[in-house]
Amino acid sequence: PHALRGTRTSVVGRIFQLKGSNGGGPKRRVDSATLTYRGLSGDRQADMRAHGSPQQALCLFGIEQIAILRAEGHRVFAGATAENVTLEGIDWSLLTPGTRLSLGATAVVELTDYASPCWKNARWFNNGNFHRIDHDLFPHSSRVYARVLQTGDIAEGDHVGVTLEDAIDRVPRRQARPIRWPADFQ
């Protein structure tokens, strides 16, 4: 990681699909949307205890990762795991916390963390193994969260730029997951 310090590398991919819902997944496809500091316009999260913070304004996934999962026999598809933006043509191993993405002409987001897999996605996975998209178990197979640095209108087919620049200095290191006590689930 230290080799990236002070360097800039732009890689161009594209927005494969945008999706939104009234909460949860699967999310429905939309052609375009306005990206606000809270996420995509017209999208909301059903469980605000686990989703929807400014650090989780956007959830992204790669169509190539979805294709790998489908080749393994999982029934996952774009939007099934409740991601808002499905990207195409980007090396998923480059998408680590601190990486910045330009979406369309004006929007800019910064990746904040790997999205924890949710039990509600079990129906899309063989034997209910939703942990197949857990970054800790399967690196570069998970969705990623992002915060919005600059708002704007985005649409399917828009270019995506990936910038790696001093990420180690911009984002705090990932912390261990907190322990959840049974009272947290009541």
Among candidate residues 67, 64, 56, 87, the one with its CA nearest the CA of residue 154: 87
| Token code pair at residue 120 | 């509600």
For residue 173, is pLDDT > 60? Answer: no
Confidence of residue 11 (pLDDT cuts 50, 70, 90): confident
Query: What's the pLDDT tens digit per position in 66-103?
Result: 999 999 999 999 988 889 999 999 999 999 999 999 99
Output the pLDDT for position 20: 82
The mean pLDDT of 9-27, rounded to a whole number, is 81
Task: Give the model's confidence band at 3: pLDDT under 50 very low, under 70 low, under 90 confident, else very high.
Answer: very low
Average pLDDT, the chain: 83
146: tokens are 């992002």
Rg (CA), the chain: 16
Rounded distance between C-alpha atoms, residue 92 and residue 186, angstroms: 36
